[in-house]
Structure 1
Amino acid sequence: YFEQHAVDCIKIVPSHWKALSDPDRLLLPGKLLIFGGEALEAAVIDNIRASGSTCTVVNHYGPTETTVGKLLHVVSRERIYDSVVPVGKPFSNTRIYVLNDARQRCPVGVPGELYIGGEGVAAGYLNNADLTAGRFINDPYFPSDGVTLYRTGDLVKYLPDGNIVFMGRVDDQVKIRGYRVEPGEISRVLSSCAGVSQGVVIAREDKTGSKRLIGYVVAADFDRDHILEYLRSRLPE
């Protein structure tokens, strides 16, 4: 499609971009490449830089619960990034906090959970009051202004230049091709399969750096096909 059409802008998950690229031909638009949905590895930027492309690259962050993007970082051609590219600074009428377990602000360089407030933040989860109460809270620093904060569950830290960098999760949630996955939920389903006395699921990276799910079981009589059929009947593909 790229060979036949002029494409100026792409917004894509990094793992999807890597799957559509190879060392000899990167998937690069003419003007603007926006990454989002999962951590952006510095190696991706190194490859784009080495290609000689002049398109602007933006790293973008915004969970579903905030409707739209809330942080962004325009990649610098001169800057050498560490292992991952920052998710950047807030925009689009956004209030950002990096808080510890006591909901106190974390100083520069100290990891904490990312809280997001401002326009676009959802009212909560439909028909799930318990989860809503745990994830959507009043702003503890300005309780009278009625702003709701969303607890992202993402572990981040401030860099000295004011950018925020993603470090992982405060729970065991992982991203698989941009989709949120709770390995603990899959482990519980796996363990409930007849013949399985214990099961656990973890995310492992393959040779391309993409994550995939691997299940381990303790079973008196291991029947792989039976277990896979059981999982398919209760979980997304």
Structure 2
Amino acid sequence: MHNLAWEELHTDLKVPMVELFETVEGEGRMAGYPTVFIRIFHCNLRCTWCDTTYSYAPEKPAFTASICEIVDRVSAYGHGVVCLTGGEPLMHGVKSLALVYHLARIPHVWDIHIETNGAIDLQPFQALREREKEVREKVRFVMDYKLPASGETERMHVPNLALLEERDEVKFVVGNEADFMYALDVLKRHPTRATALFSPVWETMPPADLVSFLLKYRPQEGRARLNMQIHKVIWDPEARGV
């Protein structure tokens, strides 16, 4: 994929889908903005606390759509912010690259943030961002770094941290105090330009406790942020398509 010819990024490539809908972004830098969510099917991880288990096997894709069809539906909503998520939206190789490329060409879209799980090499997507002006101007990575309570820490592609830029975000989903301390160590050993987001696992990490850790330890010299999922406050936490 590193030697991909850019003309291979066809719009007739088809992607397995879970859902595509409009809502407000619930977390991160774009929290509160009207957003089109594109949820791609399949994931290469199985986190213990996953809240989208319907987005990978043994479940089935809800439908399959060509990149052209996805772009048309996103365009029709008219919103400037797009969230590409999953599952894991970047695990489909050239199809994932093509989708990112063509979404960035929608004139009224000004922010495309890609929620990726940290186990996918971001280099091909960073190369696309560096080469294509519209991709460079619009696309951001919101990359998870899985902590021990997730059960998937060993799957992290650590070099991704060095690729992230100031506009990107790295998200730590914290299940307990040990997770938080592990995240501090990751940031110390692998400094990144991205803003660190700390999100509580709703069932095991009281948000007030996470706030106390942030105040006490001041990760990234105080630049790290608490990251709450406001859509779980607005709607039932189990609700889909919101």
**Alignment TM-score, normalising by the size of structure 2:** 0.30
Where is the strand percentage greater, Structure 1 or Structure 2?
Answer: 1
Where is the helix percentage greater, Structure 1 or Structure 2?
Answer: 2
Structure whose alpha-carbon radius of gyration is higher: 1
Q: Select the structure with the greater relative contact order (CA < 8 A; seq sep ≥ 6).
A: 2
